[in-house]
Amino acid sequence: MDSKIFEVCLEKYQNRDMSVSWQDLAERFGYENGDQLRSSFKMARKKMGIPSHGIGSTKTVVGGNELPHYKETVEIKGNGEVTSDRLIEICEEDSKSPESVMIAHKFDPTKWRLVICRNNLWHMQKKGGTRLLCYQSRITVAPRKPNEITFAEVDKFFNKYTPKVHAPKRGLVDHIQKGRVLEICIPDLHVGADSADPNRSDESIKDAFAKVIKDIYYRINGRDLDKIYLVFMGDIMHYDTANKTTTSGTQISSNMNFPNIFEIATSMIIDGIDLFSGIAPVEVPYIKGNHDGVAGYMLMKSIENYYRMDDNVVIDSDPISRKFRKIGNSLIGWCHGNMAKANITTWLQKEARKEYGETKYAEVHAGHFHSQNTVDKDGIVLRYLPTITPTDSWHYDRGFVGAVKSTISFLWGSDGLLEMWFSNV
């Protein structure tokens, strides 16, 4: 039934208006007869949860306005989930926000998480002709786990954090503007992963990282660079929680405890930034992975605080899954790589429309698969990049072996890609 017809019928039904008959309304709206219109209205009324006269008639107050005859329900399930069905007054943009919808249902987002939500636009007309716009909203929420960490809690911690003053290493090379930008991609370090080689130590990744950054340093020492992007493309640490589980809750094996891998990862990254920031300004974009979604963010926030007084170092710790930068007439996008293949390049065209239209070249750099592969499709070059992390027991047992352990760096100029460097382990 059309919403406008429904409102007229509802007004007659609720106010028992005898000045106009159902037959009159049927002729007005093109129905065969009054009985057909009443039957159609009855089905629509039941579907929207409006009870019949005298049955559960309640008044719902939304924004200070009383909406008659809407039956609100709350259902508590045995597994701790709660389903709430009510009318809410909320703007269209906030109706897409889990936090805003939960607040409208009177649930604290720090104590509950949204499981499912369905909002239906509801037009209601009061006596006197006042027209209200709200939503018939049904949500199911579940209590947050006691040890569950949210991004808001991480931000709250670091907002109160007072860092020590850091004096970075400087003076290695005089910086001259020449329009050259270096991009160093570091995907999938997996600090804390067990090595399949019994002769390797738990800290072998630290040695591998030191080797590649020194190799890159000797390649660029003496060059004139405008900027260096040191991009960490997700899964810096092998697991996300003290219980050794990934962000999604998958249990994995590791011989190292969480504080140890956090300390190793922090020292590695600071060593790399200090080395390169003596040559040119350094920006560190962080891309969220699927192994350490929260822990990786905490790691980058701590490093951001470490360099907060250093104007030559910028840490982009925003915990999102993809980012992009414009370099000369080139557009570079970064993502972890664990997304649908149909979207792995098209997101750059959609999310960077302005920059995509202004540039001649476009590339997407991704990790996740621990091996390299390049595809040129529809004007965008997609590069899956290798990792330097040693093969762990999980990959070894499944036969995922043989990929070259390497880091790829890209030297960009004002007119596109100039050079690619491979720093092998």
Question: Strand locations in 47-92, DSSP E?
Answer: 59-62, 65-68, 73-76, 82-88
CA angle at 269 for the pair 374 and 199, rounded to the nearest 5° = 80
Place of tokens 């609100």: 72
Nearest residue to 67 via CA among 11, 120, 25, 17: 11
Place of tokens 């239906």: 120
At residue 28, the 3 state secondary structure works out as helix
pLDDT digits (tens), the chain, 425 positions: 788 888 888 877 776 666 778 888 888 888 989 888 888 988 888 877 676 654 444 455 445 555 555 678 889 888 889 999 988 877 777 778 888 889 989 998 888 889 999 888 765 555 555 555 677 889 999 998 877 777 777 888 788 877 766 666 655 444 444 579 999 999 999 999 987 766 666 678 999 999 999 999 999 988 899 999 999 999 999 999 989 999 989 999 888 999 999 999 999 999 999 999 999 999 999 999 999 999 999 999 999 999 999 999 999 999 999 999 999 999 999 999 999 999 999 999 999 999 999 999 999 999 999 999 999 988 999 999 999 998 877 777 777 787 899 999 999 999 999 999 999 99
377, HSE (Cβ side, Cα atoms, 13 Å): 14
Cβ atoms 279, 170 nearer than 8 A: no
C-alpha distances in Å from residue 159, one per residue of 122, 162, 266, 305, 315:
41, 8, 19, 10, 15
Give the residue extent of every domain in the chain: 1-47, 50-145, 169-424
- In angstroms, the CA 306 to CA 270 distance is 9
Contacts for 386 with CB less than 8 Å, ≥ 6 apart? 187, 370, 371, 372, 403, 404, 405, 406, 407, 408
Selecting from 3.60.20.30, 3.60.21.10, 2.60.40.1120, 3.90.1530.10, what CATH number does the domain 169-424 have?
3.60.21.10
CA angle at 421 for the pair 420 and 423, rounded to the nearest 5° = 155
The tokens for 65 are 């306005």
pTM of the predicted protein model: 0.65
Cβ of 123: how many Cβ atoms within 10 Å?
13
Nearest residue to 265 via CA among 291, 228, 227: 291
